[in-house]
Structure 1
Amino acid sequence: MRIFLYSLHTAIKNLWHEKWINFLTVMTVGVGLILLGTFILITLNMDSAIKRWSKGFGIVVYLNDDLSRDEEEELNEQFQKDPDIEEITYVSRAAALSELKDALGDKQSILQGFDKNPLPASFELKLRKGLLEPDWIRQKALEIKQMTQVEDVQYGEKWLLSLSSMTDDMKIIAILFGAVIFVAIAFASYSTIKILFYRRKDEIETLKLLGATRGFIRAPFLLEGFFIGLSGGIAGFLGLLS
């Protein structure tokens, strides 16, 4: 206990004696943590936004024009049994035409050239969360397209690939940025301790001659590093809160 109190007293005394060097180190650590924390928050917010966008993602299955109502019901039952499909919405030909007219607004006259409804009936399939891997969805779309009742399948492949690429890039950038900040903080702390070590070289040599152990000599330096890191962490935390 006496050794710890001596080391603590020595560390506090040395921190005050070299206050400007230690202050700059604390600020360096604090600014580094603020930058890292800010980037992490931005990354988390972007990831959250991407997850919100992906909630509405699904596959649109267009049906053959000559399907009977019983065949459509049979296909609907197949989709309901699929564990990968979370929600199924049937859009009839009439409903699809009504949606198109609403989208066209005052330009509905372009549809007058059609003798009959040109739009097919469809199923809108919402997939379970966590199944937005491009390769998996591509395979799923191919399986559905091979069904005899299906005319075509669309699922926004380009959008999905862009989303997946953006997510992967964000993770890589976050790891690299975090590594750079960590190295910078570690280097700043190490350099400060090394400078202080050389400034007290004579004092250390005297302690060695008096028979002091390595642990006894190192303890004040370790406590100084702890206090510098703690102060930098608090400064960074307060900076993020502000």
Structure 2
Amino acid sequence: MNFWLTVFRQVGRNLRQTWTSQVMTLLTVSLSVLIFSLFYLIYTNMLNAGDQLGDELRLIVYLEDEPVPEMKEQLIRKINSFDEVEEIRFISREEAYERFAEQLGSNRDVLAAMPKDFLPPSIEVTPMKTLRSLNQIKGFSGYLGRLPGTVKVQYGQDWMERFYHFTQLLSIVVLLSGSLLILTTIYMVSYTIRLTIMGRQDELELLRLVGATNNYIRTPFLMEGLLQGILGSTIGIGALFILFRWITEKFSGPGFLKLIDFTFFSPSVVLTLIFVSILLCTVGCHTSMRKYLKI
């Protein structure tokens, strides 16, 4: 009990003596955690958005003529021979007309002079959820385009390619921001501990002479790194949560945000981010002690 009481007193003394560098380190750690967490949150939500929108993925195969029952069975066999699909639905010209009229709503009068068979028949193919990568969808689309009587295949390929490349870019940004978090955290904590050690060289030397143990000397510095990790990560994630709530409330009206269910980190992810920050701060502290604390 006396050991830990003395340690906490020493930690408080160290913080008072080097409070300017301690504050700068805390702000740096908090900002690094905030930047990394922000890009990681965007990345995870984009992946979730891809899953949500992927559930609505349909490949539309436009046909020259409506297939007869024998032709439908042949087309179903050919489609399933590539890969199993969740659903295959044939859309007649009349059904396509009714769908188009419903989409027009109050403006459906523009179709009054149009024949009900002016739209081409089609096949709606819903792929399995295991078939969701861009290359797989492209390959499946190319295969469907070679089916007998096929005119064109559509599945929102332009949008999917942009979304895929955007998530790829985000993954690179997450890696870069994670590297920034590691480097800045270790360096700033190491720098702050070094200043504390250099300012207490005479006192530390005296402690060695009177027989103080290595644990007694090292523990206050480790506690400083631990506090920097806990406070820095908590402030960074707390700031991100406030920003997240502000954005979701500010842009809660009709628009892109309403199409996708954006969520914050789960408690397990938050605890992991805090643990990693503590670990990095402890590593920075240990690095500085190993280099400048000759015990």
- Class of the TM-score when normalised by the shorter of the 2 chains: 0.7 to 0.9
Q: Deviations over 1:85-121 (max 9, x none)?
A: 1222221111123334554734436746xxx834332
1:183 aligns with 2:183: yes
| Structure 1 equivalent of residue 141 of structure 2 | 141
Q: What is aligned with 2:254?
A: none
Q: Quick one: structure 1 residues 55 and 66, their matched pair in 2 at CA, closer, same or farther if it must change by over 3 Å? A: closer
- Name the counterpart of 2:236: 236
CA deviation after TM superposition for structure 1 residue 196, in Å: 0.9
Alignment of 1:2-17 (within 5 A): 6-17=6-17
| TM-aligned CA distance change 1:119 to 1:234, over 3 Å | closer
- The alpha-carbon deviation at position 161 of structure 1 amounts to 1.7
- Does the 8 Å contact 1:43/1:170 carry over to 2? yes
- The CA deviation at 1:80 is 6.3
Cα gap change, 1:13 to 1:47, in 2 (>3 Å):
same
Equivalences for 1:198-237 in 2 at 5 Å?
A: 198-210=198-210, 212=212, 214-237=214-237
> Which one-letter code corresponds to 1:19 in the other structure?
W
Residue of structure 2 equivalent to 1:105: 108
What's the secondary structure of 2:119's corresponding residue?
coil
Partners of 2:195 and 2:66 in 1: CA distance: 84
Counterpart-to-counterpart distance in 2, 1:147 and 1:38: 45
Change in CA separation of 1:31 and 1:156 when aligned onto 2, cut-off 3 Å: closer
> Aligned equivalents of 1:234 and 1:151: distance in 2?
57
Q: Distance in 1 between matches of 2:46 and 2:144?
A: 32
C-alpha distance after superposition, 1:191-227 (max 9, x if no partner): 1111111111222233344455544432221122112
In structure 1, the gaps of 5 or more residues are none
Structural mapping, 1:75-90, within 5 Å: 75-76=75-76, 79=79, 84-90=84-90
Query: How far does the alpha carbon of each residue in 1:22-49 deviate from its partner, in whole angstroms, 9 at most, with x for none?
Result: 2332233223323333333333333333
| Residue 67 of structure 1, CA deviation | 3.0
Q: CA RMSD in A?
A: 3.1
Which amino acid in structure 2 is aligned with residue 147 of structure 1? L
Cα pair 1:33 1:236 within 8 Å, conserved? yes
Question: When the two structures are superposed, what TM-score results if normalisation uses the length of structure 2?
Answer: 0.68
In the alignment, structure 1 residue 34 sits paired with structure 2 residue 34: yes
* Alignment check: 8 A CA contact 1:71 1:149 kept: no
Q: TM-score, normalised by structure 1?
A: 0.80
Runs of at least 5 residues in structure 2 that lack an aligned partner in the other structure: 243-295
Measure how far apart 1:53 and its partner are: 2.5
Report percent identity of matched pairs. 27
- How far apart in 1 are the matches of 2:192 and 2:34? 20
Find the aligned partners of 1:151 and 1:129 in 2 and give their Cα distance.
26
Q: Tell me the equivalent position of 1:173.
A: 173
Larger relative contact order, structure 1 or 2 (CA cutoff 8 Å, min sep 6): 1
Deviation readout 1:51-98 (Å, 9 max, x if unpaired): 323322221122342632332244346556875312222211111233
- Give the Cα–Cα distance (whole angstroms) in 2 for the partners of residues 66 and 195 of structure 1: 80
CA–CA distance in structure 2, aligned partners of residues 158 and 33 of structure 1: 34
Return closer, same or farther for 1:239/1:64 CA change in 2, 3 Å cut-off: closer
Alignment size in residue pairs: 239
Give 4+ residue runs of structure 1 displaced > 6 Å after superposition: none
With over 3 angstroms needed to count, the CA separation of the structure-2 counterparts of 1:84 and 1:198, relative to structure 1, is: farther
1:69 aligns with 2:69: yes
Task: For 2:226 and 2:158, locate their aligned partners in 1 and report how far apart those are by CA, in whole Å.
Answer: 50
CA contact 1:80–1:88 (8 Å) conserved in 2: no
